[in-house]
Structure 1
């Protein structure tokens, strides 16, 4: 089992080669199925179709240890497809997280100023020793490294809360590696998988550079939320 690295390839194929029940926590930021294009013309791989969605989450569930958690971001306009995939994989929603922004990422019928993620359970995991709030303010990354880059500040409390000390965090859609950096910042092992060769190179370089600072303690995060 490779540790503390990001593998290049299709996550469905890569996960088939990994041992079952080997992962303590999954932090997934999959494509939202919305054919997203940012202002500079960048796209997200596999964001135009959902043929990968069910097999990817079935693979994720196979790798999760019994009674563990997965946090998955999702596209709100495709929520039905995500729920179908999660339930097919045997993952049950047990909580919802909201990440409000100080800015609108787009404006249509509303000004869209938050993102969401579901807390999913395989089996019956115990309650966290120090539960976090379900609203975590999101800072702006500038999307310099990825078209939908998440800040590590919203990911570190998730890893700290839902992955035990000494545990392994898996991100099958690693992108620029934010979740992997977050895992390292709170002293967890990690494994990422990324399909896009440019993003794989970015994540690998980012991990080689090392962490710059430690995130706030859980109490600080809860107070801010």
Structure 2
């Protein structure tokens, strides 16, 4: 007797959020049931362990950098990816290889996968995903000034005032992949509704550079998460991931549900998976509010 499929922890409109490990969840899904992926994974894995999350929530930092406030604005914490050991970097590559392998069968042919990353680790994730049979389709550059980089040498600011240890980050790479097509793009579009990206308008193709402000305080107040992305940006990329506006968008690292909220706002069906019960609790309250939020382009 087969097991009944697990029920979602939360639903709102066309969005469903499941609690669980995304690898286990993906391997339990029917083949060719997901039409696109937009996700912001835990880049270093270490920062989302229970120990490090407790430190973050207590304001102790751990591997998280807690930036100071400027002009009365509290900045979001940032993971210190430069502290990862060689073994942790290897673990990252292995994990994303396993993840891509579990994801591949669940996607329809031609489904696009968009993965938020950062310049320090993008090469690892890109290599791991490509090795599992996904086609590299470029990168989306989210133009945004962050608090990462630009610092002078630690404990030697006065001695080396003209030196930055690494560049101040002014963009965020989102890696774009596609599951191989069945036939030509037009054949795939007719059969599966996938294979391309939805244009913003008849006159304008979807571009690979998107200007974006940092996530605004009013959005953080609704669904706070250390790496919460703004709805104005997410709605653009989520809309693009289904070329005909039909199908299911998956976020396997759902966090506080911002991708699902964006999908709901543009009228798509969506599914999310999240392991941390604290973020699921935040998502339950936040998804409806984020989805109904009016945002500036």
* Pairwise same-fold verdict (TM > 0.5): yes
- Structure 1 43/15 Cα, relative in aligned 2: closer, same or farther at 3 Å? farther
CA distance in 2: counterparts of 1:129 and 1:99, whole angstroms: 18
Q: What's the CA shift string for 1:92-139, capped at 9, x where partnerless?
A: 111211111145444241111211111111113543352312111122
Residue 66 (structure 2) pairs with residue 39 (structure 1)? yes
Deviates more, 1:4-13 or 1:53-62: 53-62
Is contact 1:15-1:59 (8 Å) kept? yes
| Correspondence list, 1:169-180, <5 A | 169-180=249-260
Residue 271 (structure 2) pairs with residue 191 (structure 1)? yes
Residue 87 (structure 2) pairs with residue 7 (structure 1)? no
Q: Which consecutive unaligned segments of at least 5 residues does structure 1 have?
A: none
Report the equivalent of 2:109: 66
The alignment of Structure 1 onto Structure 2 pairs a total of residues equal to: 215
Report the equivalent of 1:111: 168
CA distance in 1: counterparts of 2:42 and 2:290, whole angstroms: 26
- Structure 1 99/109 Cα, relative in aligned 2: closer, same or farther at 3 Å? same
RMSD (Å) for aligned C-alpha atoms: 2.7
| Correspondence list, 1:134-213, <5 A | 134-141=208-215, 142=217, 145-163=224-242, 164-209=244-289, 211-213=291-293
Deviates more, 1:85-94 or 1:121-130: 121-130
Report the equivalent of 1:78: 121
Tell which structure's C-alpha radius of gyration is larger.
Answer: 2
Which TM-score applies when normalising by structure 2?
A: 0.65
Report the alpha carbon displacement of residue 16 of structure 1 after superposing the two structures with TM. 1.4
- Structure 1 214/68 Cα, relative in aligned 2: closer, same or farther at 3 Å? farther
The SS at the match of 2:210 is coil
Residue 134 (structure 2) pairs with residue 91 (structure 1)? yes
Report the equivalent of 2:196: 127
Report the alpha carbon displacement of residue 62 of structure 1 after superposing the two structures with TM. 1.7
The SS at the match of 1:52 is helix
| Correspondence list, 1:24-35, <5 A | 24-33=35-44, 35=47
Q: Which consecutive unaligned segments of at least 5 residues does structure 2 have?
A: 9-13, 48-62, 68-75, 151-164, 186-194, 200-204
